[in-house]
């Protein structure tokens, strides 16, 4: 039996980087996401995502529920940690364990989502605190048929 150390008031100590997080499968919110058509391979990114908070493990279940339709089962997410609060090394959504890898990208606020069988989707992540009009413009620019430089 594994015991968790407890403080004087009976609470467990806070962990800044837990090893895993667990989430149910059904999405609670429709992600604010725009994807290029599957056949459109122009440009670096495949779309853009505007999460509602800087908590990656809270935001991923809804996003991955949608991306699973295109990629099949997802096994890994590589993300730019600059835009997120500290996240664990993995999260569990339903009965699937998803590996989370923080990596400081050359292109700021980029996320790679890997399907288990094949495929990858590259997303530009729009910070959650972005003004509504700017975020909407960035979502639309990411799927514009004319490639747009990322800033």
Determine how β-strand 33-35 pairs with β-strand 20-23: unpaired
CA-nearest of 49, 60, 72, 64 to 128 is 49
Q: What is the mean pLDDT of residues 3-18?
A: 40
pLDDT tens digits for 112-127?
999 988 799 999 999 9
The residues pairing with 100 across neighbouring beta strands, listed in sequence order, are 77
Q: What is the pLDDT of residue 60?
A: 94
pLDDT tens digits for 59-92?
999 999 999 988 999 999 999 998 899 999 999 9
List all residues 6 or more positions away from 67 whose beta carbon is below 8 Å from its beta carbon: 74, 113, 121
Q: Is the pLDDT of residue 10 over 60?
A: no
The Cβ of residue 145 has, within 10 Å, a number of other Cβ atoms equal to 9
User: What is the pTM (predicted TM-score) of this model?
Assistant: 0.75
Q: How far apart are CA 3 and CA 97, in angstroms?
A: 24
Kindly state the DSSP code that residue 127 receives in the 8-state scheme: P
Q: What is the pLDDT of residue 27?
A: 54
Q: Is the pLDDT of residue 42 over 70?
A: no
């Amino acid at each position: 039996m594994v015991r968790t150390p407890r403080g004087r008031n009976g609470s467990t100590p806070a962990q800044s980087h837990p090893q895993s997080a667990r989430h149910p499968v059904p999405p609670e919110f429709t992600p604010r996401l725009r994807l290029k058509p599957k056949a459109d391979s122009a440009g670096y990114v495949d779309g853009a995502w505007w999460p509602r908070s800087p908590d990656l493990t809270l935001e991923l279940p809804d996003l991955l529920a949608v991306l699973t339709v295109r990629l099949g089962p997802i096994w890994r997410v590589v993300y730019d940690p600059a835009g997120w609060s500290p996240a664990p090394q993995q999260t569990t959504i339903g009965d699937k364990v998803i590996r989370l890898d923080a990596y400081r990208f050359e292109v700021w606020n980029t996320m790679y989502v890997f399907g288990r069988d094949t495929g990858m989707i590259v997303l530009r992540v729009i910070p959650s605190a972005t003004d509504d009009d700017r975020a909407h413009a960035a979502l639309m620019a990411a799927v514009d048929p004319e490639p747009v430089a990322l800033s």
